Structure 1
């Protein structure tokens, strides 16, 4: 695939590669020379694998339920085995974003979001770090958080809380895994375009465009580019950082 080769020779695992953001991340990694293991749970990623291969890259599809700790460990080991015993980058992108009012929310509904969006990040990172710490070059772990970690939205209490915890997990992991050459950062997207979004939420899209200094929604490749940067040698002295990719919405004053 065409690119500058920023990740040439790397082996990367992208979780949740069946979704729009995950797909954008995977394609950007492949374009920059990385061999990509594409995790999915229910969405088919075979077409994405074929696209990468047809463009001259290396890719494999791996299925796992990341609410299962053992499945997280198995997924990481399968990716590393496919990569010849190496894993240079992990992008923890898999997540869910249901809407539910906080009054009346059950513990089971809370846990369904926290287990998928937070506990899987902990388990996958722990397993990946064990692989990376044995390599002389260390590695890069990137969590996909959200601007909702700092700016909660109605009906998203469980999601916002989980994403806030993801940001703090990255900062804590940066401290503890740094001595092994492992960098841990987060990317916090704003509103990312997807098929049908403007039909499903026209008023929200309109408000976003008005609020964003750039005047547009984000694209999956915008998040992919941020992840490529953090996984590349250009970010070799960056760890414990939350990179906000929201077109400037967070800079908009609320008063």
Structure 2
């Protein structure tokens, strides 16, 4: 018996590396998974094919998560596909542009906060309403970042959005708890992707030197954390930020 047998999950931003890793781990643990994407349709479909080839159930759903109505429709479509049930939502979709504060416009600021927060708010609200009437309730997990507390230069808007995601989860844990809905966040550190070492050799070198675990993170590491929080093993955990950073946060800063 696997950890998520019988669950129906929606993972947003599942065309990207972390989202694909989360979706694969949910499927491996027995969940039927709806993979959301906006533009990365090919990557999402490839992941769905892998899940189906392994005997799992998966589907691709498209939506623009800056649009409130589209967010609502996405969650409802995932539940319809799941036979009227949705037991887990992972809010992973986000953007991470680099822009220094002295030249940042209000429009650029709003673009990141809207992209990273609107979907979290509306998808969570819609999913919680569906989960409220279900036996066993459900879980919502936001993908935040260690940059919520320690933003990198050029990432003020991104760090602020992720700090807001953590705060939203803590507030939602209080308000949706009586509905049987647990809400948590996972805050990853540097997660490896194809070409990262070539594109940012200095950053990768510095990370490897700072991480007690001695490696970059993998999408599956984030997926494992999300599986745990969605499983019965975490039935008394809500309003928590689970840091997945290979121990970087444990290092002194002086």
1:93-146 Cα shifts (integer Å, max 9, x gaps): 000000000112111111111111112101110010111001121100000000
| 3-state secondary structure, aligned to 1:239 | coil
> Take 1:152 and 1:74, find their aligned partners in 2: how far apart are those partners?
33
Structure 2 counterpart of 1:17: 14
Hey, what does 2:166 align to over in structure 1?
167
Q: How many residues align?
A: 252
Instruction: Give the corresponding residue for 2:136.
Output: 137
> Are 2:228 and 1:222 equivalent residues in the alignment?
no
Q: Aligned Cα RMSD in Å?
A: 0.6
Counterparts of 1:43-82 in structure 2, within 5 Å, are: 43-44=40-41, 45-82=44-81
* Deviations 1:159-215 (CA, angstroms, capped at 9, x unpaired): 000000000000000000000110000000000000000011000000000000011
- Cα separation, 2, equivalents of 1:76 and 1:245: 27
Q: Which residue of 2 aligns with 1:198?
A: 197
Q: Quick one: distance in 1 between partners of 2:5 and 2:115?
A: 30
Aligned equivalents of 1:106, 1:120: Cα separation in 2: 22
C-alpha distance in 1 between matches for 2:147 and 2:46: 31
Question: SS at the partner of 1:103?
Answer: helix
Which segments of 5 or more consecutive residues in structure 2 lack a partner in the other structure? none
Q: Secondary structure at the match of 2:89?
A: strand
Deviation at 1:226, TM superposition (A): 0.3
Cα deviation digits, residues 56-105 of structure 1 (max 9, x gap): 00001000000001000000000000001100000000000000001121
User: Using the alignment, how far apart are the partners of 1:200 and 1:118 within structure 2?
Assistant: 28
Q: Distance in 2 between matches of 1:136 and 1:6?
A: 17
Return structure 1 stretches of 4+ with deviation > 3 angstroms.
none
Structure 1: runs of 5 or more not aligned: none
**TM-score normalised per structure 1:** 0.98
